Structure 1
């Protein structure tokens, strides 16, 4: 596994990849991780994220190498279908998976998403419209949704 740390408007992000694709992208406070790499997948990932943050990219083409349970993989696949600038709810996610009773399991899988932004778990909000549950912090989730135009500054409460 190769790693790379990039600077973003929301703070440093740690990127990780194997030979098949990106395995992890998360906000980090770790020190000592490499600020450069020769890994072409990580370099492409860094480029696509910088384009996203400068409003030049609305979807990602970088190959992913996700690893999880069958259910998690299905949830992460569904997350990638949520368009830029739009949101969905945990209940709608569960319904899209074929069982609205799986709402807690869908929320749990959403929370275990290892690839922030690219697998856009930040686009899932509470059924009542509140911002809930984001591993990077609700302040980052709000920023990302505002950045994408999915919400305006006064539309949603953090909790």
Structure 2
């Protein structure tokens, strides 16, 4: 959770709590979880209204596909991971190791890129889980952040406890050997 400051272009309530959106040069640079004491900021521009509308659509329909302009600043590897995250369908998940194998990297490096994702929810880092359970979220392995990850996964169709996550249907976008059986 970020501290209060005026850098956010848009501050809104969501099922996950208060969200702060930073837009620069007509591109989204950050989405942060904020304390509920941070004042709301209304959408004032067409892009801000579009962001608000697409987030609202996602919270109603978890299969909503975001089509928002992003300015995600990171290393080449982080950008590759973030792009791969957008290719995991709603209601599906990969382990850090599976995503790492797909990218020819290590699981810890993938986890680090997920932790540094500047726009969670829009770029769905919550769809990557640990081989032993839910893993981390937003730089945390417990508390409110993990509750948010659990909420997002359940919202998209997962219905098991955190350590026994299961999905509606297996993700078939990868070879069978790369898939993780998440059914309980």
TM-score category (smaller protein): 0.7 to 0.9
Q: How does 1:40-55 map to 2 (within 5 A)?
A: 40-55=46-61
In 2, are the aligned partners of 1:91 and 1:127 still within 8 Å (CA)? yes
Give the gaps of 5 or more residues in structure 2: 1-6, 139-143, 165-184
- After TM superposition, the structure 1 stretch with the greater mean CA deviation from structure 2, 38-47 or 5-14, is 38-47
How far is 1:34 from its partner?
5.0
Q: What's the C-alpha RMSD, in Å, of the aligned pairs?
A: 2.0
2:113 pairs with 1:113: no
Match of 1:132 in 2: 135
Q: Bigger relative contact order, structure 1 or 2, given CA contacts below 8 A and separation 6+?
A: 1
Shift of 1:59: 1.0
**Post-superposition offset of 1:56:** 6.9
From 75, 84, 87, the equivalent of 1:69 is 75
What TM-score, normalized to structure 1?
0.87
Distance in structure 1 (CA, Å) of the matches to 2:81 and 2:62: 27
Paired position in structure 2 for 1:13: 19
TM-score (structure 2 length as normaliser): 0.76
Aligned residues, how many? 153
Listed as ranges, the matches of 1:94-105 within 5 Å are: 94-99=100-105, 102-105=106-109
Query: Which structure is larger by alpha-carbon Rg, 1 or 2?
Result: 2
Structure 1 pair 71/33, CA: closer, same or farther in 2 (3 Å)?
farther
For 2:180, the equivalent position in structure 1 comes to: none
In the TM superposition, residue 147 of structure 1 has moved relative to its aligned partner by 0.4
Query: How far 1:2 sits from its partner (Å)?
Result: 5.6
1:3 matched to 2:6 = no
Find the aligned partners of 2:92 and 2:63 in 1 and give their Cα distance: 15
